[in-house]
Amino acid sequence: MDPSHLRGEQYEDEHVHEVYEQIASHFSSTRYKPWPIVERFISTLHPGSVGLDIGCGNGKYLTVNPDIFILASDRSPNLVRIASTHNRPHVSLAADVLSLPHPLRTFDFALSIAVVHHLSTRERRINAIEAILAMLRPPWSSDKTVSGEPGRALIFVWALEQKSSRRGWDEGDDQDVLVPWVVKGGSQQQEKSSRMKQRKGKKGTRGSTMEEQVPQPDAETKPGPRAPSEVSSVPESEGRCNDKDSSKTYQRYYHLYRKGELEEDIETAGGTVLESGYERDNWWAICAPSMLNSYSTGS
C-alpha cells in the first residue's frame, strides 16, 4: 500500500476512476440485485421526493421507486451510460462527489452506496460526506417540503470486520487496501484489455464497453463491492494491471471502515446519525445535517 501522503486525487484517478471506466461493463453485469436496506430506504420515500444517488454505478436503484425523482451521478462516464439505459423516470449524469453540480440544501434524500470508501484520505472522505450532507434540506428549513421532514442520506461503506467473507479481513488489519478485480479472458474482454493499454493516459470518451455480459453466477450472493469468485490473491503492490493468460486484473483502492468509524466521520462532517448498522460486510448509516452544525456555504 502506498503511504497516505502519496494518496489523494491523482491516486484515485489511477486506482478508482480509471479502473471503473475500464471494468464498467463487467462490473455492471455483476451488480443487478438491490441491497435490502437501500431498497427499503428508497421505497419508503414520499411520492414527489427529489434526491440524489451519488455514485450510482450501473443505476440498479433507479428501478425501485417510480414516484420519486432521482438525479443519479457517477464519476465513470461509462457507468453513467449504462445507468441511462434504464433510468426512467429518473436522470443520470457524470459528476464527482467532491464537485457536485447541484444547488445546496435542496434535496429530500441522498444515497451514497459504496462510494466514500474509495476516497483515499480521511480528509477527502469527510469532505465527501460534508458535500453529501450539504445537498440535503436541513432540519431548520421548512421550505418546499413534500414530507415535512428534513433531508436524509443513506451511506454504505465496506467494513473491515468481515472475517467470514471470502477476503477474511478483520479488526486490526490494514484499512487501506488495493483490491483486485479480474476480468476473465474471452475475446471481448481481451480486446478491452489491449484497448486500455493503448489508451493509457489518454482522457476522453471511450468506445463502447457496454455489451451485455453474462452475470457471474455467484457474484452477488452477498452485498458488497466484491470481485467475482475467480479472483485469487494478487500481490497488492504489483500495480494496477497484470497480463496473465487471457484475464486482466485491475486494482481498486478501498478504505475499509472499522466499527464506529463511519459514525465518527459523519459527525466530524457536521451530520447527525439517525440510524446505523452492519449488513453483510458493510457498515451503513442514515444521517442528516446536524442542528448544531453551522455550515452554510457548503465549501
Partner 1 sequence: MKILTLNFVTCARKACKASPAAFPLRPREAELEIVEQDINPLFVRNVLPRLEWDALREVCGELGLQQLPSTAPSPDDLFTTTPAAADTAMADAADAHEPRPSQLLRDLHTLLLETTMRSGKLVCGNCGHEYAVKEGIANFLLPSHLV
Backbone angles phi, psi at 264, to 5 degrees: -60, -45
Shortest Cβ 252–partner 1 spacing (Å): 19
Q: What number of other Cβ atoms are within 10 A of residue 286's Cβ? A: 18
Q: Tell me: does residue 11 bind partner 1 (CB under 8 A).
A: no
Cβ–Cβ under 8 Å, residues 140 and 127:
no
Cβ neighbours for 46, distance < 8 A, ≥ 6 positions apart: 68, 108, 146, 147
Task: Return the C-alpha cell found at 227.
Answer: 470481485
Q: How far apart are CA 122 and CA 117, in angstroms?
A: 10
Q: Tell me: does residue 276 bind partner 1 (CB under 8 A).
A: no
Classify 2 as helix, strand or coil.
Answer: coil
Grid cell 434524500 is found at 109
Q: How far apart are CA 259 and CA 183, in angstroms?
A: 31
70-99: contacts with partner 1 (CB under 8 A): 71, 73, 75, 77, 80-81, 84, 88-89, 91-96, 98-99
Task: Return the C-alpha cell found at 82.
Answer: 449504462
93-132: contacts with partner 1 (CB under 8 A): 93-96, 98-104, 106-107
Sort 281 into a burial class: Cβ within 10 Å, 0-12 / 13-18 / 19+: buried
Q: Tell me: does residue 62 bind partner 1 (CB under 8 A).
A: no
Number of residues counted as binding partner 1 (CB under 8 A)? 39
Which is nearer to partner 1, 147 or 190 (by Cβ)? 147
Q: Tell me: does residue 202 bind partner 1 (CB under 8 A).
A: no
Shortest Cβ 84–partner 1 spacing (Å): 6
Q: How far apart are CA 8 and CA 4, in angstroms?
A: 8
User: Using CB under 8 A, which of 36, 66, 217, 260 touches partner 1?
Assistant: 66
User: Using CB under 8 A, which of 2, 50, 242, 279 touches partner 1?
Assistant: 50
User: Using CB under 8 A, which of 6, 32, 67, 211 touches partner 1?
Assistant: 67
Which is nearer to partner 1, 103 or 172 (by Cβ)? 103
Q: Tell me: does residue 44 bind partner 1 (CB under 8 A).
A: no
Give the interface with partner 1 as residue ranges (CB under 8 A).
9, 46-50, 66-69, 71, 73, 75, 77, 80-81, 84, 88-89, 91-96, 98-104, 106-107, 144, 146, 297-299
